[in-house]
A and B are shown apart, each in its own frame.
Chain A
Amino acid sequence: MNMIKTDILIIGAGPTGLFTVFEAGLLKLKCHLIDALPQPGGQCSEIYPKKPIYDIPAFPEVLAGDLVSNLMKQIEPFQPGFTLGERAQTIEKLEDDTFIVTTNKGTKHHAPVVAIAGGLGSFEPRKPPITGIANYEDNGVEYIIRDPELYRDKDVIIAGGGDSALDWSIFLTDVAKSVTLVHRRNEFRGALDSVEKVQELKNEGKIELITPADVVDVIGEGNVKGVSIKRGAEVFNKACDHFIPLFGLAPKLGPIADWGLEIEKNAIVVNNSLDYQTNIPGIYAIGDVNTYPGKLKLILCGFHEATLMCQSAYQRIFPEKRYVMKYTTVGGVEGFDGTKKEAPKAVVKAIT
């Protein structure tokens, strides 16, 4: 198994995690980021890419999505590595005080410093509050469609009213034996194309729509045999092989909560007066994921925390080296890709 090696392993590729790459790069430290989402940007990309932010210094207004693309451009010279679509699962401290972080897919990362910039946690599917549903997970209840072939020639019931519920309902009509879509409202709120396509497939009898209704129970012994659906006052059972609730994603602190870190108010306690280190030396927590007296969950505060954290990380990695902070205006920015940005030099040349 390959091991990804880096100087600072950053968990969470939101704005704070991304800016850490820049500050680390100035110190010639390499970074690798892990994020459960398939794209960088964290909440900014996943929840509100089109929403404006007004409190980024020197940006009177910037869209969250643009902030992320700007950060990606800013850190490009430092060639960060990414493990995307995987959740940091376990951490192991080695005898030499370095760490191995393994994701839910088994990817291993080795670094002397771990910076948790996990925001609100990793984005996980929202699970409907159905008693006992956990017993059926991967036995006919799936919150994420990983392999559509699983549904070949099966009876499938999908619940939800957003884009992913619509899109998968459409897609699975070509694969599954039958597709039923259950939604609490009569109206769907997806892309217009998808809504129209579902209407068309319904008219052709390829999708059965049950609205306004909720799936209230799962039936079966070990494996899913059907679900119980409530429409108005009426409750009825419907047979199926798979029940796929698609209600979007919500952030959960997740496995990080079990890493032995001090947790308070769903956040990781850090030393604010010094370097945002946690109770485990070498593991830092920056941005929305940490807490300390007076904590504010602001992107601009995350940037500050990342900057101080990198200085401490440098001292940890090179305890014997002396270093003083250098302004980028003075020192320029030397990328690991060989690029160098610097202020234009004045020349001394006679004008004749």
Chain B
Amino acid sequence: MQDIKLHITDREGVTHNVDAPTDMNMNLMEVIRSFELAPEGTIGICGGMAMCASCQCYIESKHELPEMSYDEDAMLAEAFHVKDNSRLGCQVFVKDNLDGLKITLAPEE
């Protein structure tokens, strides 16, 4: 199984190029936490249930992402700092087709 490259810009504006495994059922929020790109307690607060927006990120590349679930869409309807390219990191899973994905973490609420 091969890792894919992700380009993640943290809340300080620093871009990190990380290798993320595709065989661990990880989502973007978990990748960010595993590399400690945002302090614990400021991301993934609800644990990945699409029930907070602490892992909101902006998708900056043209990759095709899975469709939003009802829960994710509902959360983004109430979240702050939402843009057209906003997604919840916890709902986007690391798959081969996301190799080279560029994302930027939304500001902390």
Contacts and interface: CB of A to CB of B under 8 A. Distances in A.
Interface of A: 43, 47-48, 51, 120, 126, 128-129, 160-162, 183-185, 187, 189, 247-248, 250-251, 253, 265-267, 291, 297
28 contacts: A47-B51, A48-B49, A120-B41, A120-B45, A126-B80, A126-B109, A128-B80, A129-B81, A129-B107, A129-B109, A160-B78, A161-B77, A161-B78, A162-B74, A184-B77, A185-B77, A187-B77, A189-B77, A247-B78, A248-B78, A250-B45, A250-B52, A251-B45, A265-B39, A265-B41, A266-B41, A267-B41, A297-B47
A265 B49 CA distance: 21
Contacts, number: 48
A85 B82 CA distance: 31
Interface in B35-49: 39-42, 45-47, 49
B80 to A, nearest CB: 5
A189 B81 CA distance: 19
B36 to A, nearest CB: 10
A47 B46 contact: yes
B42 A48 contact: no
B106 to A, nearest CB: 11
3 tightest A-B CB contacts, nearest first: A266-B41, A265-B40, A189-B74
- Report, as a range, how many residues of chain B touch the other chain: 10 to 19
Interface of B: 39-42, 45-47, 49, 51-52, 74, 77-78, 80-82, 107, 109
A227 to B, nearest CB: 16
A250 B109 contact: yes
B20 to A, nearest CB: 21
Contacts of A48: 49, 51
Nearest to B41: A266
B78 A162 contact: yes
A129 B80 contact: yes
Nearest to B51: A47
B65 to A, nearest CB: 20
Nearest to A263: B41
Given A162-B78, A189-B77, A266 B40 contact: yes
A47 B39 contact: no
Contacts of A187: 77
Contact of B49 (A51, A126, A129, A161): A51
Contacts of B42: 266
